[in-house]
Structure 1
Amino acid sequence: MTAAASLQTFSARPAAPTGAARAAAVSPSDLLSLARSRTTDDRQRLLLALAAMCDATPPQGQVSPVMGEIFMALAAQAEHDIRRCLSESLASAEWAPPALINMLALDDIEIARPIIARSPLLQDRDLLKILVEATLEHHIEVARRPRLSGVVADAVIDAAEPATMTALASNRTAEISEDGLRRLVEQSRRIAALRAPLTRHPRLNDVLAGQLYSWVGQALRQAISERFRVDDASVGEAIDAAVLSVGPQRTPSVSVDEPNVAEREEMERRLVAKLQSAGQLRAGFLIRAIREKRLTLFEHGLATLGGFSVAQVRSAVMRSSPDALCLACNAVGIDRAVLPAVLDEVRKLTDGWPGKTQGANWAQMTLSPAAAAQEFRALIGAA
């Protein structure tokens, strides 16, 4: 949908804000008076009118930096319905300011969805940022994006979020590598929703089909058999051998679908490494990880962002005083205001560590990040 068409559609909505409903009628001669106005309605009309003009006569390449700043300033003040209309208008535009596109991609999901799905201006680094900073609904839209690159597909798999991986498995145009597809098939052992889309995936090969065949239902087995030659006897023998090898040692409380701890930690390490290489690993990611009860992801992220070893971070976690962990958090930019909540979440996952034999030395949080990192290494080294 073009910006002009969006304006006409938007102007026909009874519930549209006053002023925005008349945006389609704005002529170039009215733009100056709209720019001089300070009212919210006029600023919204100006925003949509500028978008319509640029869409009708696209600039060569991107709009000028000044025009980009005008778009950003106006969009930041616009109401939800205006931003949604703008998002639909700019979703396919090649001339739109990249900063505006990124802002809309991180907005409410109703606003972000068309941008994530269609904008040619979103780069891999932008999509990785969405995976770090936005909601699960945003992550699902990223996984559904047509012709998704292998770098972003790997990041989706590394995060191991069932709904996002299922969306990726259903995306026939995503550039999923053979290793990535293998990891999805392995995840399908515990995530039933992955099995059906993987059964139909165009990149599924004989080897992966045989692996998938061993834990899907009868209907999906038939679908696999129609595409591949699968030896039922060989599959049955493999399953029996696996059961016999672990059966006597397995306790009833352990589920056969329980993900391997070492495998999950390796996936989290890969995710952290990818975010770091893309420049998207930040303190906010660590806070989110610990709030989601993902301690090993928090530890790997803290170690990578601070330039520490994972062993040093885990040593700080298991100390009788929280001082070392506070220093590490300070070194990576975690604000003092949220640090008590971070400590509480860590303690819930570690049976009370770091201990409370001494209260945290909050004076350490006034150190610069570099000084805090140096103090952390000295403290851990002294131990």
Structure 2
Amino acid sequence: MSNLSYNNADMAFKSGAANPVLAKLYLTHGIRAEAMNNLPAEDRAGLCDDVTYLIETAGRPSDREMATDILLSLLRHAETHLKQAVAERLSVLDQAPLRLILEFINDDIGVARSVLKNSPVLNDLDLLYIIQSRDSPFWQAIAERQNLGENVVETLVDTKDIETAKVLVENTSVIFSDYALGKIAKLASETDVLNDCLINRSQTARGDFARKIYEYAGDALKQLIAENCGSLSKEVSRKLDEVLMEFTEPTPHHFMPSASMIKAAELFMEQGKINKTLMLNTLKRGQIASFIALFSKFTGLPVAVVIAMLQQKNGRSLAIASKANDLDKTDFLMIFNFTRKIMGEDYLSASHVGATLAYYDRITPDVAKRLMNRSKV
């Protein structure tokens, strides 16, 4: 503390008498703006530290209120970094004065973020008001809170803000209602920004989350096509159902692509459209069976060999196929990581990934091509 000691403050609180420390601070500095303006920055920082401590340890509401008046006056003339420090300190305090918390929220997001994310003083009604009155950076901070209420989640989703939706999906404590899932699915159908976090969330939720998202997206897609194109032919309807099923149904353990997936891959190959961008985007959407069909045509390897290759935990066969087909290290690593996630593999350690990349670096294109030729039948 600055010129006060914690021991003296504690003794004043325990005596049961009027708090002399607070009384002196109030009389000396009080809530007079001119007194705050004349304080050097170092003294103001010390006083903020003193008064924040008194708020944290005050045993009586009257003492806490007096300290709050003093701190509010100090903060109105404080530098941003000092406000941030006090906000972070009070953001985890169960009995932090609501007036102080609201003062932080009315400041810039740099000051408000910690209380928006953590303060137990804010209830759902407070959060709903903040969502209505502030903008995306404030919504994102609220979306990081643990155990958000259903109304708050739905209101955040209703903002249609992609970055806020991304934070919500990444927050594994958030429970989405059917209404919120439908809204998230609509956003996911309009942008690729949510792809990675949807896949990551699906792993922690054992796949249920992503499947529900795509169920909603699938229904919306069918409705949109029907509204704009009239009735679908049986062939188009069957292909659409097959694509949606790949998203929504639990994937078979062997990840075998269907005949139509293989036919589609053949057509892409004939048209020269199979490239790393197409394959990686297919993986990012979680379409592992379609990726296997594409990768089979891209490498010239049988589907069964590709499946066995992707199930190999050390990634060496995939490294050989990547090197032989001019996929660089970044492409190889992305395919390796995405297939591990989609197949439900446990977390890969840095040493595991490092060993896999080292193998990719060691093998030459010529050796990789010779090994590949042995696998083609």
TM-score relative to the length of structure 1: 0.46
Q: Which has the larger radius of gyration?
A: 2
TM-score relative to the length of structure 2: 0.47
